[in-house]
Homo-oligomer: A and B are copies of this chain.
Amino acid sequence: MEQVGARKERGGAVIELENVAYNYGGGELLSSVSLKLAPGSFHFLTGPSGAGKTTLLKLCYGDLLPTAGDIRLFGRSLAEMDRNDVALLRRQMGVVHQDCRFLDHLDVAENVALPLIVSGRDVGAYAQNLDELLNWVGLTHRSHALPPELSGGERQRAALARAIILSPDVVVADEPTGNIDWEMSQRLLTLLVELNRMGKTIVVATHDLGLIRAAKALVQARVLRISNRRVQLAGADL
| Contact B49–A98 (Cβ < 8 Å) | no
Q: Is A116 an interface residue (CB 8 A)?
A: no
CB-CB under 8 A from A47, the residues of chain B are 181
- A146-203 CB contacts (< 8 Å) to partner B: 149, 151-154, 157, 174-175, 178-184
| Contact B180–A49 (Cβ < 8 Å) | yes
Give the CA-CA distance A127 to B181 in the complex, in Å: 38
Contact mask for chain A residues 50-84; partner B; CB cutoff 8 A; 1 contact, 0 none: 10011000000000000000000000000000000
Residue of B nearest to A184 (CB): B49
CB-CB under 8 A from A24, the residues of chain B are 149
Residue of B nearest to A46 (CB): B181
| Contact B54–A152 (Cβ < 8 Å) | yes
Q: Is A230 an interface residue (CB 8 A)?
A: no
CB distance from A202 to the nearest CB of B (A): 20
Contact mask for chain A residues 117-148; partner B; CB cutoff 8 A; 1 contact, 0 none: 00000000000000000000010001000000
CB distance from A145 to the nearest CB of B (A): 9
| Contact B54–A151 (Cβ < 8 Å) | yes
CB distance from A160 to the nearest CB of B (A): 12
Q: Is A207 an interface residue (CB 8 A)?
A: yes
CB-CB under 8 A from A18, the residues of chain B are none
Q: Is A48 an interface residue (CB 8 A)?
A: yes
| Contact A152–B48 (Cβ < 8 Å) | no
CB distance from A12 to the nearest CB of B (A): 31
| A contacts, CB < 8 Å to B | 24, 46-50, 53-54, 98-99, 138, 142, 149, 151-154, 157, 174-175, 178-184, 207, 209-210
Q: A49-B180, A49-B184 are in contact. List 18 more A-B contacts (CB 8 A).
A: A49-B153, A49-B154, A49-B179, A49-B181, A50-B138, A50-B142, A50-B153, A53-B151, A54-B151, A54-B152, A98-B152, A99-B99, A99-B152, A175-B178, A175-B179, A179-B207, A181-B207, A182-B209
